[in-house]
Structure 1
Amino acid sequence: MARGDGLVAARHLVHYGYKPSVYYPKQGKNELYERLKTQLTNLNVPFVPDFTEALKSADLLVDAIFGFSFQKPLREPFPSIISQMEETRLPVLSVDAPSSWDIQEGPPKEGPGAKFMPGALISLTAPKPCVKWYRGQHFVGGRFLTRSIADKYNIDVPDYPGVDQFIEVGVDADEKL
């Protein structure tokens, strides 16, 4: 599934020897997304038109539909996709926030996404407030912040070992990294 982070993840997966496919249901005209799409096309990454069919041959699902840009209400085809992600037995990795979750308020109280709990969550740069509702493996990824920005916003940047780009952390939103 793809928005910007999902498209970038697919590109990285190709370079690490994997064979991702991308389900991209609502393609906008954003120039950055168009460039990422072109890169993936040039790397022979297939864009699949049917999410249900794509699930049948997948080994892992990267949930990057919304990330922290999610705004209610869910509109088609997203309620169906979220419901399928809730029900799949595939491992699911969500980027920044499980899709359908509100960044501040966590999972919806009812409907699609109310029971969605991916097996892993990767918070880019820093955990988002909704992580306090998350139960599973939690990672922080990316060495994106300068010390001055981290200090300005009072963000504890983890000490990444060696050249690693991510680190596993707890899921307690109040926990210091």
Structure 2
Amino acid sequence: MNPSSVPEPEPEQVEPLRYLSKAEAMAIEKELLEDYRFGQQQLIEMWGHACAVAVTRAFPLSSFTKKQPTVLVICGPEQNGSVGLVCARHLRLFEYEPTIFYPKRSQNMLYQDFTTQCEKMDIPFLSYLPTEVQLINDAYNAVIDAVLGMDGVQGDGKEPYASILATLKQVKIPIASIDVPSGWDPESGNQDGISPDVLISLMAPKKCAANFAGKHYLAGRFLPYDIQKKFELNLPDFPGTEHLLQL
């Protein structure tokens, strides 16, 4: 047989990355907490750290045009907001200068602990949200959206969230959203929400991210292999010891 006539081996089929519904994401988190005995604090800490690393990659210190590497972190009252608090704390350790706007502080003791950690590290908390003009002129380089997350459009019609979303729709500085951009439905996507430049997906991307056109980072390497297989996540290979991947 002519060696040139030997057929080429079929390339290995790579299954596409799974985009999760809200119910699927909640089921994975429930299994992590109840079956695998992850603690909520443990998950939030890992996610917040990964978000801070993603911010440093999307907005490296050398890219900031303003003298001070200031970042405004806007936090909601639920879990997404607590991830934002942890993100701010790690950004401070990475030599950024985060400021936090946290208008409705949670009564959850765990979230209060995250708040205390930020206060003890002298991260300033604002009592009001700057206007879109102030956000630009007051030397903020970027905004971290940790407002609604998986709560999606459910809370965006209530104050202060309606005003926050109205302001974020107008700003010209870059926005990075944690898991689900505020004002987006976790499954159907952007109905009347903000338009972030960066999205940081936790565990696996949500269905709303399927058509996201900006920089998209995934923090999902910590997931046990059995969970990855059970939910057919088809996560990409993380190089080396990386726990964060740009999709």
After TM superposition, the score normalised by the length of structure 1 is 0.86
Counterpart of 2:128 in structure 1 is 50
Q: TM-score, normalised by structure 2?
A: 0.63
Shift of 1:71: 4.8
Amino acid in the other structure paired with 1:120? V
> After the TM superposition, which parts of structure 1 deviate over 4 Å for at least 4 consecutive aligned residues?
none
How far the C-alpha of 1:134 sits from its partner, in A, is 2.1
Report how far residue 90 of structure 1 moved.
Answer: 0.8
The number of aligned residues is 164
Which of 195, 199, 204 lines up with 1:126 in the alignment? 204
Contact map agreement 1:13 1:20 (CA 8 A) in 2: yes
Partner Cα distance (1:42, 1:164) in 2:
29
Secondary structure of the residue aligned to 1:20 is: strand
Establish whether residue 23 from structure 1 lines up as the match of residue 106 from structure 2: no
Aligned with 1:136 (options 198, 201, 214): 214
Instruction: Report the structure, 1 or 2, having the larger helix content.
Output: 2
The DSSP-based 3-state class of the residue aligned with 1:163 is coil
| Aligned equivalent of 1:96 | 179
Aligned partner (choices 154, 176, 191) of residue 72 of structure 1: 154
8 Å CA contact 1:96, 1:121 repeated in 2: yes
For 2:222 and 2:106, locate their aligned partners in 1 and report how far apart those are by CA, in whole Å: 26
Alignment of 1:137-176 (within 5 A): 137-169=215-247
Match of 2:84 in 1: 6
Provide the rounded CA distance (Å) in 1 between the counterparts of 2:217 and 2:178.
10
Return the alpha-carbon distance in structure 1 between the equivalents of residues 243 and 176 of structure 2. Answer: 16
CA distance in 2: counterparts of 1:148 and 1:27, whole angstroms? 36
> Would you say 1:85 and 2:177 are equivalent positions?
no
Corresponding letter in the other structure for 2:210: K
State which structure, 1 or 2, has the greater radius of gyration over its C-alpha atoms: 2
Gaps of 5+ in 1: 170-177
Structure number with greater CO (CA < 8 Å, separation at least 6) is: 2
How much is the aligned-residue C-alpha RMSD, in angstroms? 1.6
Give how far 1:79 is off.
1.2
Q: Which amino acid aligns with 1:81?
A: I
**Aligned residue type for 2:143:** L
Q: For 2:220 and 2:99, locate their aligned partners in 1 and report how far apart those are by CA, in whole Å.
A: 23
Letter in 2 for 1:30: N
Q: Aligned-pair distance for 1:77?
A: 1.1
Q: Which of these residues, 99, 102, 106, is aligned with residue 189 of structure 2?
A: 106
2:143 — aligned with what?
61
Cα distance in 1 for residues equivalent to 2:125 and 2:221: 29
What displacement does 1:83 show? 1.4
Provide the residue aligned with 2:118 in structure 1. Answer: 40
